[in-house]
Amino acid sequence: MKYSFLIFAAMMTLLSCGNTGGTADKNSVNASYQTAPAVITTNGVEADAKLSVTANGTMLKLEIKVKNISQNSITLDPSMISLYADSIMNTIYDLSGGGSGIVAGKDVSITVYFKPVNDPYMMQKYNLPGDMEKSYSLPISFVIDDKEMPVSEASIQFTMTDADYEKYIAEFGIDNSVKGFELSVNNQAFIDGQSKYMVEKHMLAKCEHDNEGTQHSHEGDTNSCVNVSGNEIISENLMIKMIGYQAGKDLYIYFRVISRMPDELVIDPKLFEIRAGDGKYAPANDPLKDLTDNKIENGKLILGLNERAELLFRYTPGAFPYTLAWDLNGFTTSKGTPVFFGPVSFTNTGIK
C-alpha cells in the first residue's frame, strides 16, 4: 500500500497549481505598480510595461510594448515571459495577443496574465497563492534576435508604494487571516469502519499489496485497501486530499480527487454539508461553476476511470468551533450508493 501512496503524492503534486479561483474580471484593476525605468532602451530595443493587480486580488495583469529601434528584425516570444519575485519564477497563466516578428522601426504590444505563487507553503497546503509581493521584476529576455538569442538580460522593476500596498492588503490580503482546519480522524477507526462498509456494500474491487506487482481481490484483507495519511485518504481506488481553512467570516474546504474506480464516481456538491456546533450548513457557493474540462450532469460532477478534479467549497457557519464534521455523502457510485460510511472531522489548528 505504501507504493500506492507514493504514486498518489506525486499525482497530487502535479495538481497543486490547478485553478480553484472564481471568475472575477481579470481586467478590473485593484492596485497598480510603479515601473522603473519607465522605458528601457538596450541593444536596439525600446520596451515599456505596466503591472497591476486584478480579478479581486487574485491575478497580475502585465501590459508590454516593444519597439524595434535597430536595423534588424527581432521577435517577441510570449513563452519566454516570466515574472520574478525573489527566487520565485511565475509563468504566464493567460494572454491576449501572440508572439510577433518586429521589423525595424515598428512596435508590438501584448497583454499577459499571471496567477503568481507568492507563498509556496500556502500553495502546497491550501492551494492558496498567498498575498501579492510588493515588488516584481521582468527580464526582457523574451525579445530575441534573428539568431534566437535574447537581445538583452536587462530587467524592468515593478514596485507598489507603501500606501497602495497597505490598501491592497487591507482589501484583498489573506496571509494573516487564514487559519487552518486539519483532517482529524482516528485513523484505525476510520480504516476499520470504511473497510467493513465496503464489504457490506460489495464495493471491493482490486488494490495493490506492498511488494507485489500484481493486483488481487480482497475479501479478508480489506484494511490494505483503505489508508489515511495526514490530509490524504485512499479508499479502494479513490484517492482524496482535503484541507480546510478559515478566511475572514468564511470556512473553505478544498479537495483534490483522483478516481481509479471502474465505476463512475458521482460528486454532488450540495450533499457536502458541514456540522458546526448545533448547526448544519450547505455550501454557499457552486464548486462546479468554473469546471470546463469535466463532465457535469444535473448539477453533479461525473468522473470516469483515471479522471480527477479539484473543488473548493465555501461555508458561512457564523461561528467556528474547535472541531467540525464534514459529510461525504456527496461521493456516490453511479447507482447512488454512498462511497463513504460516514463523515470526517476537521480540527481548528488556529494557525495557517
> Boundaries of CATH 2.60.40 in the chain?
29-172
Provide the pLDDT for residue 20.
Answer: 39
Gap between the Cα atoms of 177 and 120, Å rounded: 17
Query: Taking phi first (over 0 means left), then psi (-120 to 50 degrees means alpha), and beta for anything else, what does residue 327 get?
Result: beta
Provide the pLDDT for residue 223.
Answer: 55
H or E stretch covering 125? helix 120-126
Gap between the Cα atoms of 144 and 268, Å rounded: 50
**Buried b or exposed e, range 105-121, using 16+ CB within 10 angstroms:** eeebebbbbbbbbbbee
Gap between the Cα atoms of 323 and 275, Å rounded: 9
Q: Which three cell numbers stand for residue 126?
A: 491550501
Q: What is the pLDDT of residues 163-180, one digit of tens each?
A: 999 999 999 998 888 999
Provide the pLDDT for residue 220.
Answer: 46
Provide the pLDDT for residue 79.
Answer: 92
Q: What is the pLDDT of residues 183-217, one digit of tens each?
A: 999 999 999 999 999 999 888 765 543 343 434 44
Q: Which three cell numbers stand for residue 106?
A: 515598428
Provide the pLDDT for residue 21.
Answer: 42
Q: Which residues of the chain have pLDDT under 50?
A: 1-22, 208-220
Full-model pTM: 0.74
CA atoms within 13 A on the CB side of 86: 7
Please tell me the CATH code under which domain 29-172 is placed: 2.60.40
Q: How far is it between the farthest Cα atoms of the chain?
A: 78
H or E stretch covering 54? strand 45-54
